[in-house]
Structure 1
Amino acid sequence: MLEFRAAKKEDCRTIAELYSISSDGVADYIWTQLAEDKENVYHVGQRRYENEDSVFSYKNCIVVEKDKKIIGMLVAFPMISDGAVSDDPVLAPYSQLEFDNSFYICGVALFSEYRGLGIGTELMQLAEQQAKIRKFNILSLVVFEENTDAVRLYEKLGYKEVQREKIVPHPLIHYTGDAILMIKNLSK
């Protein structure tokens, strides 16, 4: 039996591991920049998700448990963009894909043995419910074009491509090509 629940502070290490999966290396790149004295990137991610004053907080996460073990997560929050583009050339393409005034699905991930079972779709449906509760009509997300399984899932769920940006290659980032901004309009 699966349990979907709001994340707790003690879940942050597992959330960091899952967010690393969902970002396909982008989080690892960021966390490497923030690491203190050879600190493990997952520890940096854990610290970030423990921060309650950031959008990257466990407070914006839902976790899925099976037999009391976290197997997946969703990170989603309102995207209120200031229009600024990162001055880091590796991160700039992603900041250019921010869709202002949307409910942003920042990350969805499952450990590999739980993929293909419909759990990701359930997490995406929870994101829609959260968007409606918070009075957002638009959901947004960014996906790598080479992550064809994810692109297919999002298209099946009604997301449409609206913009692309060329990825700046980096050894920690798993894909090349384009990053795609996709949105879903709930008012249609």
Structure 2
Amino acid sequence: MDYNIRNMKDDPDDCEFVGRMLYEAVTGEFDTLFPGSSLKTILQFATKCYTHQPKEFYKNVFLLSSEKEKIGFVEMAFHDTVKNQMSKMDLIRTFGVRDSCRYLLSRLFFVFPIVPSTAYIDNLAVEAKFRGQGYGRALLKRAEEEAVARRCNKIYCLVFSTNTDGMKFYEKNGYKAVGKPRTFYGFLYLVIKIPTSSQEAFNLLQWNFVQLPMA
């Protein structure tokens, strides 16, 4: 494979690509949160999520590409990661009151606490035509290297319960499902060693909790 991996830039092409890949990775979530909005509007929102972020944020996002085109990306988060969110008024202007309230409530339900010495894989996606060629593993390896460089001893990710391909991918690369996160008074907390048979409180986002102890 002939490819290179670099940090994402605050560049329209980079933001459009990562935004589109994010939408394709979590289509069901976006379509459920914004049922009254067009695909174009949702894609523009996904792109804006990566536009004009703090410089430190782009150090956490890696793009994999060949000489001709972008192939995939991985976004990481650490305890000190800062990511600007769209203002409430901009959300309302973009999606209307009903969809905006649905989105804001979902953010309250799913707050992911990241403690020091822990890394989190927020998103990892590869273009459909390039899957199965080792690019996802290359991105995962780059994320793991970054976690080690920042002296993290654990790396986590959350995967949709229905995303069986995603679970197989992580398990194939040494990750183990150790339980499922639970909601508590509207906030999502990670609890190590919860039984994998525990039930989710919220059906829209059924996650599996995955961890990899770092050497």
Q: TM-score, normalised by structure 2?
A: 0.67
Q: Work out the CA distance in 2 between the residues paired with 1:89 and 1:153.
A: 31
State percent identity of aligned pairs: 22
Q: Work out the CA distance in 2 between the residues paired with 1:50 and 1:26.
A: 21
Confirm or deny that 1:21 pairs with 2:24.
yes
Q: Which has the larger radius of gyration?
A: 2
Q: Work out the CA distance in 2 between the residues paired with 1:54 and 1:20.
A: 23
CA RMSD of aligned residues (A): 3.1
Letter in 2 for 1:148: T
* Residue equivalent to 1:168: 202
Question: Higher strand fraction: Structure 1 or Structure 2?
Answer: 1
Corresponding residue SS for 2:50: helix
* Residue equivalent to 1:144: 160
Give the CA deviation at 1:167. Answer: 6.7
Letter in 1 for 2:176: K
Corresponding residue SS for 2:4: strand
Residue 113 to residue 39, structure 1, CA distance change in 2 (3 Å): closer
Residue 94 to residue 180, structure 1, CA distance change in 2 (3 Å): farther
* Residue equivalent to 1:6: 7
Q: Work out the CA distance in 2 between the residues paired with 1:59 and 1:40.
A: 27
* Residue equivalent to 1:53: 54
Q: Work out the CA distance in 1 between the residues paired with 2:7 and 2:76.
A: 12
Q: TM-score, normalised by structure 1?
A: 0.75
* Residue equivalent to 2:136: 120
Query: 1:23·1:107 contact (CA, 8 Å) conserved in 2?
Result: no
Structure 2 residue ranges without an equivalent (≥5): 82-102, 182-199
Query: 2:178·2:211 contact (CA, 8 Å) conserved in 1?
Result: yes
Give the CA deviation at 1:79. Answer: 3.8
Please, which of 96, 100, 109 is the counterpart of residue 115 of structure 2? 100
The CA deviation string for residues 107-128 of structure 1, in whole angstroms up to 9 with x for no partner, is: 1101110001111011100000
Aligned residues: 171
Query: 1:140·1:183 contact (CA, 8 Å) conserved in 2?
Result: yes
The CA deviation string for residues 142-188 of structure 1, in whole angstroms up to 9 with x for no partner, is: 00122111111111222122331527345xxxxx7x3111111103x
Residue 54 to residue 28, structure 1, CA distance change in 2 (3 Å): farther
Structure 1 residue ranges without an equivalent (≥5): 82-86, 171-175
* Residue equivalent to 2:174: 158
Give the CA deviation at 1:137. Answer: 1.0
| Superposition misfits of 4+ residues, deviation over 4 angstroms | 27-30, 87-93
Confirm or deny that 1:69 pairs with 2:72.
no
Letter in 1 for 2:128: S
